[in-house]
Structure formats: C-alpha cells, structure tokens
Amino acid sequence: MSESNYDNLQGDIRDWETPEIETFENVYPDRDYDITMTTDEFTCICPKTGLPDFATLSLTFSPDKLCLELKSFKEYLLVYRNKGIFHENVVNKVVDDIVRAIKPKRLVLEGTFHNRGGIQTTVKREYKA
C-alpha cells in the first residue's frame, strides 16, 4: 500500500460491533432540556500510523424517553482505545450508536483531537429527530 492510499482503511466502520449503551427512563420527557457529558480522556489509534490519538469529546443532547447512563457510556468509549479509526469516523460512529440507544430529540457531538503534526482537528456532528 502506498503512503497516500487510504482506500479500505475504514470501509467497515458502520458494521463494527460496539457494546450496548445502557439507558434509563427520562421522567421529564415533556420538557426540553439538555444534558452535556464531556471527557478529555478519549483515545483511539490512527489507522494509518498505528499511533495513539487523544481527544476531548463533548456530547450535548436533549433526551426524549431515555437518558444515557454515564458509566455505560464511559465503558462504551473505552472500546475505541484499541481501534484504528479516523477522527471523522469516531464522531459519526459514536453519534450513530447513541441515537440508536436513546433516540434523542437532538444531539451534538464535538470531538477535539490533539495536535498531530502541528494540526489540531475538530469534528462536529449535529442530529435532530
């Protein structure tokens, strides 16, 4: 594989099996409010270099019938520690899995990845039901 060829490095992301994210009932589904969860301990592996990537993930969502259980979400994120995944795919995969688990009214996930080669990357995805 040439150094400029990224083909097939991430083709199976949507099919990756990830742990189920536990939830609990929202007792205020009739109200619009936001929950924000932030971690500065997110890690994954660059699929191109095999080196670790570090990021701050900030998730804000407005729950409908279900809320995200915090410990379960933390354990879910730990799965990425040994995964080779591009920054853009981290944010999209995590959003897909959270939406599937809790079906929020709206959600925003922003991943701020630490500098690599002098360039800092931020990836943001918004979801609305």
Residue 44 falls in the annotated catalytic set: no
Range of the domain at 119: 35-128
Residue 93 in domain? yes
Q: Count of domains in the chain? A: 1
**Percent of the chain surpassing pLDDT 70:** 91
Residue of 7, 30, 34, 46 marked catalytic: 46
Q: Has residue 1 got a pLDDT over 60?
A: no
pLDDT tens figures, 36-79: 999 999 999 998 888 999 999 999 999 999 999 999 999 999 99
Verify whether residue 53 is a known catalytic residue. yes
Would 101 be classed as within a structural domain? yes
Token duo for residue 21: 């994210």
18 part of a folded domain:
no
**Helix ranges restricted to H, the chain:** 70-78, 87-102
Is 5 within a domain? no
Identify whether 115 is part of a domain: yes
User: What integer pLDDT is reported at residue 105 of this predicted model?
Assistant: 98
The residue-averaged pLDDT of 86-112 equals 97
Which one from 44, 53, 67, 97 is the annotated catalytic residue?
53
pLDDT at 2: 44
The CATH number that applies at residue 113 is 3.30.1130.10
Provide the whole-model pTM.
0.90
